[in-house]
Amino acid sequence: MKDRKKENVHRAGKRLGLAALGLLLAAVAGWLVLFQVNRFTLELELLGKETVIQEYGQVFQDPGAEVHVKGSLFWKNGFTPRNAEISVTGRVDENALGRYSICYTATVGPWRAQALRKVNVVDTQCPVITLTEGSQETLLPGTPYQEPGYTAVDNYDGDITDRVVRLEEMGKITYAVVDSSGNPATAERIIPYYDPLPPEISLEGGENYAIPTGTFYVDPGYSARDNVDGDLTEAVRVEGEVNWLEPGIYPVVYTVTDTYQNETTVTRNVEVTAQPRPEQIWPQGKVIYLTFDDGPGPYTMELLDVLDRYGAKATFFVTDSGYDTAMREIVNRGHSIGIHTVSHNYREIYSSPEAYFADLLKMQDIIYENTGVRTTLMRFPGGSSNEVSRKSCEGIMTILGEAVQNAGFQYFDWNVDSNDAGGARKAQEVFQNVVDGVSQARVSIVLQHDIHSYSVEAVEKILAWGTENGYAFLPLESTSPGFHHGIHN
């Protein structure tokens, strides 16, 4: 019985041993299968950049490389085997420009891997230009400068003084050189020139210049020259304003500076002169000055014929209405002609003193071109007391009232209004308004408009009444009373 039990135990242990061995063999087989399935690769990784820029003359430091074994199923991140060997072939000559290759080869068991690094040895350092110290004695412009000397040295090319390009400009020398690698270098030397002579400014028209009031000031011109810089006219600074509307002396200052900071200043005194105002002379007896604004028009010739029949003279403050023949006839028949306006556009002509004078002078020229008379008689559109000008320019009538007289013009308002531009629309109404007005004064300036047929129709009745009552009908002259209104703007 004991022998059987021992035999059974022995057999059981043997079976267990065989089972364990089987499991072990199975595990080993499994690992072998997995090892075969998990494909391994050997990778050689460069440390640093694949292409290295190496400065000429500096020691090359090889960054090296690392070996990694990676599996397709496990060890995917790789591991570095202890027995890995890396061999390096190729070299870099840091003292010779060019392109070099370094090959790295790694061997681990049956595996082998390679990597290649490119190394470019280049020269990026600029040459150095050294200037020999020269004399600090100042020289007059135009005096030749004695070059003290210079050198140029490059880290690769060595002495390249013979390649230096020297450029001498006004008071400065520039030295430039480029090495064989295309690296530039420049240096600058300031020449100690000294120019004691300032520029000269010439004023056309002289240092004292006069214009009449009301004449737009235009600079007569100037020029500037320098012994070194030449023509400096464009560099002249002009300061100062001329109020051509108000008599006085106005300084205009011209200043120019040369490259050596020599400054010249010249002053032109512009005198705005006022024309003498004619002495006002009141006529003898009872006088009516008939005046007509805004024409000539389609009724002007008819009006001239009526005036001729009575031997009466009148005054016409004209516009650029296109009736040039009538304008000439006004003068040819002995009447006075005066300036009213070119356009009668209040917004434009009263927008500024400059705009008003431009209109005034243009109309003066138009009258002269058509009649040969350069008249100075004028009437403000709306009269000097108009307030509509305030919409365009505050205070302009206050300025113009004095300015036109200082410019040699005589302006005329009126003391009798026919109201033919207002409520009167019939000849009888115009006639009655004129008669009522002139009856109150010995001398009257009557306002009418020869562009209205009913106003022209009333003239013959006015002439007849005036003649019967001892009035003379005269044209305005520069010495006639102006009957100036109070200025309200």
Residue 293 is a catalytic residue: yes
DSSP annotation string for 40-55: EEEEEEESS-SEEEEE
User: If you count them, how many residues does the chain have?
Assistant: 489
How far, CA to CA in Å, does 20 sit from each of 7, 10, 32? 20, 15, 18
- The b/e string for 320-330 (b: 16+ C-beta within 10 A; e otherwise) is bbebeebbbbb
Distance CA 335, CA 424 (A): 26
Distance CA 166, CA 177 (A): 9
**133: closest CA among 194, 187, 193?**
187
With 0-12 / 13-18 / 19 or more C-beta atoms within 10 angstroms meaning exposed / middle / buried, residue 131 is middle
Residue 93 is a catalytic residue: no
Contacts of 328 (CB under 8 A, 6+ apart): 370, 371
**Catalytic one of 226, 293, 320, 420:** 293
Contact criterion met (CB below 8 Å) for 480 and 416: no
Helix (H, G, I), strand (E, B) or coil at 337: strand
- The b/e string for 266-283 (b: 16+ C-beta within 10 A; e otherwise) is bebebebbbeeeeeeeee
Residue recorded with tokens 């681990």: 108
Contact criterion met (CB below 8 Å) for 295 and 316: yes
With 0-12 / 13-18 / 19 or more C-beta atoms within 10 angstroms meaning exposed / middle / buried, residue 80 is exposed
**Catalytic one of 68, 335, 340, 449:** 449
Residue type, 371: T
With 0-12 / 13-18 / 19 or more C-beta atoms within 10 angstroms meaning exposed / middle / buried, residue 16 is exposed
Distance CA 242, CA 395 (A): 20
Could you tell me where the DSSP H helices lie in 340-487?
Answer: 346-349, 353-371, 396-406, 427-438, 453-468
Rounded to 5°, the CA angle 114-119-123 comes to 180
Which positions are annotated as active-site residues? 293, 449
